[in-house]
Each structure stands twice: as C-alpha cells, then as structure tokens.
C-alpha cells in the first residue's frame, strides 16, 4: 500500500475512488474580503467569475456580498479568533486543491485507458 495522505477508497465492486484530503479552513483579511465584494458591486462582475478568479468558494463570496449589502462588514463571523492567511499560504492551499483534482482526473483516465485496452484485446481474439 502507498504511504502518504492520498489513499484511494476501494468500492465493493473493485473500483478505487481517490479521496481528497481535507484542507484547512481559509481565513481572509478584511481588506481581501472588501476588495472581493467591490469587484462584484462596483465592477459589476458575477459572483461565479470573481470566485473563479480568486480560487475560492462562490458560496463564501456570495455570503460576503449579502452581508455588505445589508450594511454588515464583510468580516469573519464572531467566534474563535482566526489567524489571517498569508498570500503564500493561500497559494499553497489553491495548489493543493488543484493537485488533488488533477490526481483524481489522472486516476480516472488510467482506469478508462485500462478498460479500453482490455476491451480491445478481447475484441481482437
């Protein structure tokens, strides 16, 4: 068995489904939130477009916009204090998400290529 965090899950019918590791919760600065909201309200961009540009959840961004429209500051909800995420940490997190997605796509392609190869061998006999 491979070592590391990325261990595939084996289903009852023998297929392996890659599992993604849980990423730490993102914490954004007030300035970052305000700039993201302004991209939507001032620049007339859609939530989906801005969330793709910033590599973040559209639901999170929509919540920030909703709070801003109702006069609440787009800051972290009250509760346990969170530390802010540096640009480097945000980039590492984005790259880890992308890496996990690419691994999953690679595994799917490997399985489909093997399936097609075995079918073509059976058909050639």
- Per-residue pLDDT at 14: 56
Contacts of 64 (CB under 8 A, 6+ apart): 33, 36, 37, 74
Domain boundary assignment for the chain: 1-23+87-125, 27-84
Contacts of 26 (CB under 8 A, 6+ apart): 56, 60, 85, 90, 93
Is 1.10.10 the CATH classification of the domain at 27-84?
Answer: yes
- Per-residue pLDDT at 2: 47
Q: pLDDT tens per residue, the chain (125 residues)?
A: 444 455 556 555 555 655 656 656 778 888 888 899 989 988 888 999 998 888 888 999 999 999 988 876 544 444 455 677 788 888 898 899 999 999 999 999 999 999 888 888 887 66
E strand or H helix at 4: none
């Amino acid at each position: 068995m491979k070592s590391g965090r990325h261990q595939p899950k084996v289903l009852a019918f023998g297929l392996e489904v890659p599992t993604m590791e849980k990423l730490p919760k993102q914490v954004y600065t007030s300035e970052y939130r305000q700039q993201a909201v302004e991209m939507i309200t001032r620049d007339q961009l859609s939530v989906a477009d801005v969330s793709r540009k910033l590599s973040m959840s559209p639901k999170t961004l929509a919540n920030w916009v909703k709070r801003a429209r109702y006069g609440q500051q787009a800051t972290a909800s009250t509760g346990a204090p969170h530390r802010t995420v540096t640009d480097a940490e945000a980039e590492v997190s984005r790259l880890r998400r992308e890496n996990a997605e690419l691994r999953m796509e690679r595994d799917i392609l490997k399985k489909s290529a093997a399936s097609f190869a075995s079918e073509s061998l059976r058909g050639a006999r």
